[in-house]
Structure 1
């Protein structure tokens, strides 16, 4: 144990001669080392900032979202138009839903498009359809959250290197186990933060447009859905008319046999008249 702290102290003295901005690990005695291991990962002091950190360019990060609702006269044609537009803007459909009732056919599309061409595609979508019913667009500033996550990830990675440096010099099993436990906690935090950062980065780079459009279907009377005496009369009339149409269609379908019967009837009648 004492050998470990002596090595760490030597590393600390050596770090004093390094250029400003490099990580310096100062451990003077056994109590300092024990205190470091006892501090929760979330409360660990971050390493000294890099020299270049002050010159880092900070650009504004925003999330763009919008939606358009419209009525269509030909929903199949409008849907095909939307599909043909997507490759021109490097966009794609993330989610699609189609529904159909007796009154209408509806589509709900969630489209992801690079934020650099979001405005152009949004305006183009606004011109599709028979009647525009609603459209909205919003921009959310996430600059602070974006760079906060980025900084926390960098600090945790530097803290990970800090513990790895100590682990290289550790000889006692107890020290090794404690350091590895701290490393596991740090790496878990890094994975969680990295997941949040990746999701936020995707939201920033790819904007979202929600499309909802529908086509009204012609009204079709359905007497079976209605009750009462009048409804039954209308249903009987409709059934009778449909039966008559089916009879006519059936006769037309058997026209070769009708012609054959007429020809046979003619010859039979002629034969009888000659016999008489």
Structure 2
């Protein structure tokens, strides 16, 4: 009988230990799942998808025919749904030049840059940059919400104010908050525009025939040299005219010295 009781007690202890072990395992699994949820990459993935990137491209190159290239580039910008926000042309002694500022969707930036670069016959400079302004964007966005909440609170206080001095004091603070709100809203709008559209700063130029450079023909260089010599001659002639008082004075001194020497000889 005693052996039977001992056996039953041992079985109960084993069953109790097994149940406790299963409960501990389940608690450990739950704890691990909770920790994993805290470091789950889902939040990071959503953050990456919402990143705010400012992309810009810089192109500077020579073209064979500036007018023809300008027409083709304007057609390319229209093809990719872009916008030319600035266009300036310059005419210098050695070349003619056009500058463009182009806005395009970020997804189309690389293709448009590649097609624009196909107009180049000599590439001086090219760069494409990407600036991550996510933290700045989030900070400005939070400041906008905070200023809006403060403005709404001051409006509520203004409606509840009874005394004139209280109304005046609240209006002063309300105007201050409103100015700060407009400032951060302007910053947010600028960031939205910069991240919504990429910018291409394009400079292209055509060398004129009289340009004295290694990329021009020998005949053009000779023509340029003749023109430069003529300009030098005219400059020297004008300089001589400016120096006429000094020339008159020099002639007068030489004349006096000769007269003095002749007089000395006649006296001897």
TM-score, structure 2 as length reference: 0.61
Task: Give the structure 1 partner of residue 218 of structure 2.
Answer: none
Q: Aligned residue pairs: how many?
A: 174
Q: 1:100 is matched with which residue? A: 91
1:133 is matched with 124
- Between the aligned partners of 2:61 and 2:69, the Cα distance in structure 1 is 11
2: CA distance between counterparts of 1:165 and 1:214?
Answer: 61
Distance 1:226 1:167 in 2: 79
Partner of 1:90: 81
Structure 1 position 97, deviation (Å): 1.9
Structure 2 unaligned segments of length 5 or more: list them. 1-42, 211-222, 235-268
Q: How many Å apart are 1:129 and its aligned residue?
A: 2.2
Q: Separation in 2 of the partners of 1:72 and 1:101? A: 16
1:208 aligns with 2:214: no
Partner of 2:60: 69
* RMSD value, Cα: 2.0
**Higher helix residue share:** 2
Q: Which residue of 2 aligns with 1:177?
A: 168
Q: TM-score, normalised on structure 1? A: 0.59
Runs of 4+ in structure 1 off by over 6 angstroms are: none
Q: Alpha-carbon deviation of 1:102?
A: 2.9
Task: Give the alignment partner of residue 108 of structure 2, picking from 90, 112, 117.
Answer: 117
- The answer to whether structure 1 residue 226 and structure 2 residue 232 are counterparts is yes
Looking at structure 1, the residues matched to 58 and 118 of structure 2 have their Cα atoms a distance apart, in angstroms, of 13
User: Following TM superposition, by how much is the alpha carbon of 1:168 offset from its aligned partner in structure 2, in angstroms?
Assistant: 1.6
CA drift of 1:156 comes to 1.0
Task: Provide the rounded CA distance (Å) in 1 between the counterparts of 2:61 and 2:153.
Answer: 58
Separation of aligned partners in 1, 2:98 and 2:166: 61
Q: Tell me the distance in 2 between the aligned counterparts of 1:211 and 1:89.
A: 16
Q: What are the superposed Cα offsets for residues 216-268 of structure 1, whole Å, 9 maximum, x if unpaired?
A: 1112442641318xxxxxxxxxxxxxxxxxxxxxxxxxxxxxxxxxxxxxxxx
Q: 1:100 Cα deviation (Å)? A: 1.5
> Deviation at 1:153?
0.6
Q: How big is the shift at 1:121?
A: 1.0
